[in-house]
Amino acid sequence: MRDIELCLDALALCKLDTETKHEAQNVVSAHFHSIAKDTPAKTWWTCPDWHPAIGRALRIDRKDEGAPFALLPFRLWHDGERHLVLAAHPAPRCLGPFDWDWLGIETVIAWDPQTDAAFILGDDGPALVGRFETREEGTVFRSPREFFTAWAVERAQFFARWCATGKGAWAHPAPERDLAPGKLALGDLAKISWVGLPDTIHARGINPATLNKAILRQARLPRAVAQEQRYAA
């Protein structure tokens, strides 16, 4: 509360017109209100990072140069009964521009490495989490372990490219972006919202026929049937 008071007092002293000053005060108030709320993203932010158990679960050698960046989305959390790995999507940016808080995190996935079961923290219903890179094609994962491992590998490879493009007088490092390798399907496939799909879907750990059936059933496409013609006697 003291922080927001200091910010609002500072704005009051700025030489701004009344309308601009009020807009700025509203933005500051909304920001601090969001920061104060307890959310899954805030839970993730306060959990221990860089834990050895996470590297072991994803089979990432923490001695590798790109390991810190590869494992950044993952943190260790205890729910009162067991330890789970929390994954934040999209992951906060750390190469620039920086994300100084958790407000950009949209979804937190809780994963049990022992059973390879996962759910959305705060919402255990069916969901499709991640991103499709293009409208032409994308990958849907069924196994959280496979999804997270591919995500960590993609991040490690990006970090290597980022380091390479950052060398030299005219260097322009690649901008950091969402590096999820596709989307993770959680829960009953028939109850997931299959909207905004690319033209081609690569199914990982899912029978393509089963996935197609779930998508087509939800699309509610019309079916053509033969019609009998009856003639009066």
What 3-state DSSP class applies to 42?
Answer: helix
Predicted confidence at residue 8, as pLDDT, reads 47
Long-range contacts of 129-133 (CB under 8 A, 24+ apart): 129/89, 129/183, 129/184, 129/186, 130/89, 130/180, 130/181, 130/182, 130/183, 130/184, 131/89, 131/90, 131/178, 131/180, 131/182, 131/183, 132/182, 132/183, 132/196, 132/197, 132/198
Q: pLDDT (tens digit, 0 to 9) for every residue of the chain, 233 residues total?
A: 445 454 545 545 566 566 665 675 565 566 666 688 899 999 999 999 999 999 999 999 999 999 999 999 999 999 999 999 999 999 999 997 889 999 999 999 999 999 999 999 999 899 999 999 899 999 999 999 999 999 999 999 999 989 888 776 666 777 888 999 999 999 999 999 998 899 999 999 999 999 999 999 888 777 777 877 666 65
Residue 44, domain member (yes or no) = yes
Residue 63, domain member (yes or no) = yes
Question: pTM here?
Answer: 0.83
Residue 8, domain member (yes or no) = no
Question: How far apart are the C-alpha atoms of 188 and 163, rounded to whole Å?
Answer: 41
Pair 109, 172: CB distance under 8 Å? no
Residue 120, domain member (yes or no) = yes
Residue 200, domain member (yes or no) = yes
Residue 31, domain member (yes or no) = no
Residue 14, domain member (yes or no) = no
Which structural domain, as residue segments, surrounds residue 192?
A: 37-219
Residue 186, domain member (yes or no) = yes
Number of domains in the chain: 1
Residue 190 DSSP class: G
